[in-house]
Amino acid sequence: MHDKDAKFLEDSFKKYYFDHYDLIHTPKTPEMREFGYQKFNSGMTRHISLKSDKELHLLLMKNVPSDVYCSNARYSFPNLPMAEKDWQNADLIFDIDAKDLHLPCRQNHAIKKCTSCNGIFGNSEVCPHCNATKFETASVLCNDCIAGAKKELDKLIAILTNDLGISRQNITVYFSGNEGFHIHVTSEYENLDSRHRAELVDYLTFRGAIPETFGARTNFAKSVFPDLDEKGWPGRVSKAIFSAKSNKTKLSKEIISEGYFSFKKKLESLQKEIGAQIDPNVTIDVHRIFRLGGTINSKSGLTKTMCTDVAKFNPGTDACFIDDDEVSILANCPVQFRLKNKKFGPYSKEQVSIPKYAAVYMICKGCASVS
């Protein structure tokens, strides 16, 4: 990133952190957490110990980071090297990212930057400037992608509450600040190590399901499949396969006639439909540091924001806190996006005067520069 763009973003972020202290808090037991931050055009600083909101706010104003992180883990000595921290336990955190859903709409709101000539373009697999086929990809907010991420969020919360007995009050949902959601869970599961979290991820994502769990018998002709109103995965699988109780007898005969391996493939094909699509690595890693709630995501200039009403949450308005002072930038954004109920773009190397929040968004996406 050009120095002048980094300075513009740093000034914008500093004003945000000054104006919105009320949104940024240390988590419970901050003295046991590892904090970290990254500055524009610089590397990561980790193994920081903070004891209060006051110390956190001082760090923000002194360093003006591009991104701020906090561990899900609790340690006896959070400021020491990893091998000496003495891990105690860790919050259970899930990450749902729209890009991992591979929805068909993504090609229409992708911003691609050629790694050969730095040309910026939209919906094409070849750079129109030099015909190269390697590029970096960013994406602007899309209602369909956010709706898709919310659908996965609903599936995840249903499994956590209905199957695992986790109280909804112990589940906190944040918009990630870019294109997805972070789900923080405080419960008895915080004592699980990485291996057991991996097993939990398999359960939540419906990975590795075997036919015998869902009624298949050694003599497959005598298989009896679960009723639709059974709890947990048996009921979900039957709902997905049979749709209604009235279909079960007929479709059961068809499944039996097609054989065991056909039924196994049918279960595998259901994984994305009924399993929660989460990033497994995020949940399994008990030493990861996560973006801190209330801080800005440098990939977008939007804030990691708590969602009290997920259904009504609109990131383009509810997570956009940069001010609306008019600024002049050189914009080269091939797709249209919407923030604070206003449309911006597309722009083709145009000098434009727009609100600062939109300018910050495009510079973070790599498709604009301060003029």
Q: How do residues 239-287 score in pLDDT, each as one tens digit?
A: 999 999 999 999 999 999 999 999 999 999 999 999 999 999 999 999 9
Cβ within 8 Å of residue 55, ≥6 positions away: none
Helices (H) and strands (E) in the chain, counts: 11, 20
The pLDDT, as a whole number, for residue 364 is 97
The secondary structure of residue 292, as a DSSP letter, is: P
Same domain membership, residue 306 and residue 223:
no
Same domain membership, residue 249 and residue 153:
no
The pLDDT, as a whole number, for residue 124 is 87
153 located within any domain: yes
Helix axes 248-258, 232-242, angle to 10 degrees: 90
Q: What positions carry a catalytic annotation?
A: 95, 97, 279
Same domain membership, residue 299 and residue 259:
no
Angstrom distance (rounded) from CA 298 to CA 127 = 26
**What is the CATH number for 363?**
3.90.920.10
Which residue positions in the chain have pLDDT lower than 50?
none
CB 68 within 8 A of CB 57: no
With CA atoms as reference, report the closest residue to 181 among 86, 71, 277: 277
134 located within any domain: no
Q: How do residues 153-192 score in pLDDT, each as one tens digit?
A: 999 999 999 999 999 999 999 999 999 999 999 888 999 9
Looking at the structure of the chain, the number of domains it has is 2
The pLDDT, as a whole number, for residue 125 is 87
Hey, how many other C-beta atoms are within 10 angstroms of the C-beta on 293? Answer: 22
Same domain membership, residue 54 and residue 153:
yes
Same domain membership, residue 268 and residue 175:
no
Cβ within 8 Å of residue 104, ≥6 positions away: none
Domain containing residue 262: 207-274
The pLDDT, as a whole number, for residue 186 is 87
Same domain membership, residue 164 and residue 147:
yes
168 located within any domain: yes
Angstrom distance (rounded) from CA 73 to CA 110 = 35
Same domain membership, residue 287 and residue 347:
yes
The pLDDT, as a whole number, for residue 15 is 96
Same domain membership, residue 242 and residue 185:
no
